[in-house]
Amino acid sequence: MSARLRAFVALTLVVRAAGAQDPRLAQRLDKPTYVAVNAIVDSARVARLPTAPLVDKALEGAAKGSDGQKIVTAVHQLSIRMAISRRALGSNATGDEIKAAATALGAGMSERDLQRLRVAAGKRPVTMPLAVAIDLIGRDVPVATASSLVIQLARSSVKDSDLALFQRNVRADIDHGADPTVAATTRARGLVLRSGGSAPKPSE
């Protein structure tokens, strides 16, 4: 390829990269916040991480009336969590898996938990198990228990639709006054037994 063509390619890509910034960021963020968020988004793009969740995080902050510093910190933290998530889930992880795993890390799950979940699920997506784990943690099930139960369910090849049903049942049990840990463990045990596996222990 000639030098001129190389220059043309480079120029086109630079123009395209510059134009790739989400215009909503400029509309909803003040200038310093916009510049800082863009820098983080650019870094994520270079690192081949999904950038849409970072833009969404910034837009969420703007919608909630957060100040610029808080928005930049949240976006930066999310980019770090996404990098850890991809490392834990592997380079073939989808954008949705990385996004869900980053949220799970924010909720308290560890990188090791993500690795174990990846191994347990094999090639099946881990987005739904992660969403369920995040929900359990949000309902006061201890992080270690929630992670362990979800890993057990993934290992037992429980379908996503059954995981969604599990989450709804646990929520209903808690709303009716059950202890969150007992509700989650009991429901998970029933689901695993139904799918032919051995019943999980709370902190396995």
Partner 1 sequence: MRDDDIVNIDDIARELRRPAQVDRSFDERVMRHVLRLPRHARARLWSRLTAPRTITISPLGWGLAAASLMLFAALGVLHAKDDFHRAARPIAKALFPTSPKASPAQRVQFVLVAPDAKKVAVVGDFNGWDASHAAYQAQKRGGGVWSVTAPVPVGHHRYSFVVDDSLWVADPTAPRVVDTDYGLPNSAIVVEDNK
Binding residues for partner 1, per CB under 8 A?
1-2, 5, 8-9, 12-13, 16-17, 20, 24, 45-46, 48-53, 56-57, 59-64, 66, 70, 73-74, 77-78, 95-96, 99-100, 103, 106-108, 127-128, 130-132, 134-135, 137-139, 160, 164, 167
Helix, strand, coil % over all residues of the chain, rounded to 5: 75, 0, 25
Q: How far is the CB of 55 from partner 1 (least distance, A)?
A: 8
Tokens of 156: 């037992």
> Hey, what's the torsion of the CAs at 128, 133, 137, 140, to 10 degrees?
100
Q: Smaller CB distance to partner 1: residue 23 or 196?
A: 23
Question: Smallest gap, in angstroms, from Cβ of residue 198 to partner 1?
Answer: 26
Taking Cα atoms as reference points, which of 93, 21, 86 lies closest to residue 47? 86
Based on DSSP, count helices (H) and strands (E) in the chain, helices before strands: 11, 0
Of the pair 74, 192, the CB lying nearest partner 1 is at 74
Name residues whose C-beta falls within 8 Å of residue 169's C-beta, 6 or more positions apart in sequence: 187
Which lies closer to partner 1 via its Cβ, residue 63 or residue 196?
A: 63
Closest separation between CB of residue 186 and partner 1, Å? 19
Shorter beta-carbon distance to partner 1: residue 80 or 193: 80
| Distance, CA of 10 to CA of 87 (rounded, Å) | 30
The least distance separating partner 1 from the CB of residue 37, rounded to whole angstroms, comes to 13
